[in-house]
A and B are shown apart, each in its own frame.
Chain A
Amino acid sequence: MNRLILNKIILALSTLSAVIGIGFLFWILATLSYKGITSIHWSTFTNDLVAGGIRNLLVGQFTMALMASAVAVPLGMMAGIYLREYGHGSKLASVIRNLSDVMMSAPSIVIGVFVFALFVDPFGGYNGWAGIVALAIMMIPIIISTTDNMLSLVPTELREAGMALGGSKHKIIMQIVVKAAKVGITTGVLLSFARIIGETAPLLFTSANNQFFTMDLTEQFPSLTVSIYNLATYPDLESRELAWAASFILTVIVLCINLIGRYAIRNKK
């Protein structure tokens, strides 16, 4: 009898905890949607920040995130392939793997400070390139770890079967092993993109922000997240409404990318 009561108590407690956790999530989403949607106008998308819109911010944020991905994805994938396929079991590989894991949990503000010292200070001011470097540094360890993990799920027999058919190591890795892990790696890339598209701290004092539309990466570069940070601290109502609108749009973007990533996995199974 005691066991049954205990069981019920635990069940009730864990259900309650789950409800509280999810409750906060819905609360955030509900507030965000309510305040966000009511603050969005057509002009939000067509105007730049200087005229009360976020057009330049969206373009700027995506430009930096995409260019960071263009650097981080090939670098991270090649490093992941090295760790799993070539350096397997070697000391160097295990040191790199551990450092990469540490990097993944490095506070993003620290990465921002590092890039500030390297790419902002010596060049005389905030610039878009610095923002890209900071985001790429955030992204690389995530891609390394995803690639490494996904390749580890590919059965050894597949590699051996490829070699047994007369393939050279690099051909088997590139044409079979990576292909077998393709879905997992793609998902990892999407999720890490979703992660960096919403980052503020690494951009705060690297690319900073720009009220105007620009594609010049040597200047301060427009950023959605940094703008949200700035706008939310302004006293006037319009700025704060725009901050809500921008937050809502950012959330929708991140959510969509996540959903696409998850859908890709499910479709595969």
Chain B
Amino acid sequence: MGKNNLVMDIKDFSFTYSGAEEPSLKKINLPVLENKITAMIGPSGCGKSTLLRAMNRIHDLYSGNKYEGLINLYKADGSKENILDLKKENDFIKLRQQVGMIFQKPTPFPMSIFDNVAYGLKLSGIKNRSELEGRVEKALQGAAIWKETKDRLKESALGLSGGQQQRLCIARAVALKPRVLLFDEPTSALDPISTGAIEELITELKEELSVVIVTHNMQQASRLSDYTAFMYLGDLAEYDKTDKIFLNPSKKLTEDYITGRFG
């Protein structure tokens, strides 16, 4: 695979939480391929969420964490940037506009459905009302929630169901046209039907962007993803095509985990 397929590249990356003695992630090497879905699986505490949260530097809301190694983000024009070099708030803002994030619990803001989607756009400097309206509609359609919400855009987003709220959050992130979208167990707080809708949506999203998803649900990883990274105790134990990981893993540890022998 050529270099232009990469959207992010994690090299020898170690991460230590503020106040901790031992690093939570040790020398991780992980490529993130463009327009593919990469799943991260592993038992609780293995560091998969920690790794995900490093990829948009959301860790930096809290001071004192230590990064080592590098995480390259490849831009649309082919240039690359090590996101671990970023220091200023403005740079973080630019990074997060390119690398969006969806959380475990839906996080609608206490405002109308329209304003929820428009919020990130306004932060990025778009003020023109008609442009905002167009982008919001497109984002809501992109997140398959336009039909349910088009007649109630002015109503509070808190009145939506959990699954709708999560799709709204995805719409909100998609509206910014990010290059990568990070999902941190996006369906673990949802019922099976909402989960199905979100999974379908994520599969569609990869036409336009790249997805990294952390999940506890191994069926979900095998259904959705093109590539799977299995993490264990802060190490990246195995990374390969999803089929290979689930059908013919090269390590005993991986096999034990996906067959449910531990974790």
User: A: which residues have CB within 8 A of B?
Assistant: 155, 157-169, 171, 175-176, 179-180, 182
Collect the chain B residues with CB atoms within 8 Å of residue A157's CB.
103-105, 107
B61 touches A163 (CB 8 A): yes
Per-position 1/0 for B189-214, Cβ under 8 A of A: 00000000000000000000000000
Q: Which 7 A-B residue pairings sit nearest by Cβ, starting from the closest?
A: A161-B107, A165-B120, A164-B101, A166-B97, A166-B93, A180-B110, A166-B96
Within 8 A of A (CB), among B73-104: 89, 92-94, 96-97, 100-101, 103-104
With A159-B61, A169-B89: A164-B109 Cβ-Cβ less than 8 Å: no
CB of B176 closer than 8 Å to a CB of A: yes
A158, A164, A179: most-surrounded residue (chain B CB, <10 A): A164
CB-contact partner of B169 in A161, A167, A180, under 8 A: A161
Could you list 7 A-B pairs, sorted by A, with CB under 8 Å?
A158-B107, A158-B109, A160-B61, A161-B103, A168-B89, A168-B93, A182-B110
Per the bound structure, the CA–CA distance linking A165 and B115 in Å amounts to 13
Minimal Cβ-Cβ distance residue in B for A183: B110
B96 touches A165 (CB 8 A): yes
Collect the chain B residues with CB atoms within 8 Å of residue A158's CB.
107, 109
Minimal Cβ-Cβ distance residue in A for B121: A165
User: B: which residues have CB within 8 A of A?
Assistant: 56, 58, 61, 89, 92-94, 96-97, 100-101, 103-105, 107, 109-111, 119-120, 123-124, 169, 172-173, 176
A162 touches B97 (CB 8 A): no
B58 touches A176 (CB 8 A): no
Per the bound structure, the CA–CA distance linking A7 and B100 in Å amounts to 58
A165 touches B110 (CB 8 A): no
A165 touches B105 (CB 8 A): no
With A157-B103, A160-B58, A161-B169: A166-B120 Cβ-Cβ less than 8 Å: yes
B111 touches A179 (CB 8 A): yes
Collect the chain B residues with CB atoms within 8 Å of residue A180's CB.
109-110
Minimal Cβ-Cβ distance residue in B for A154: B110
CB-contact partner of A179 in B96, B100, B110, B124, under 8 A: B110
CB-contact partner of B100 in A162, A164, A167, A182, under 8 A: A164
Collect the chain A residues with CB atoms within 8 Å of residue B100's CB.
164-165
Collect the chain B residues with CB atoms within 8 Å of residue A160's CB.
58, 61, 101, 103, 107
Instruction: State the Cβ distance, B145 to closest chain A Cβ, in Å.
Output: 17
Minimal Cβ-Cβ distance residue in A for B107: A161
Per the bound structure, the CA–CA distance linking A168 and B120 in Å amounts to 11
Collect the chain B residues with CB atoms within 8 Å of residue A165's CB.
96-97, 100, 119-120, 123, 172-173, 176
Not counting A161-B107, A167-B123, A168-B93, a sample of 5 additional A-B residue pairs whose C-beta atoms are within 8 angstroms of each other reads: A164-B96, A164-B100, A165-B119, A165-B176, A166-B123
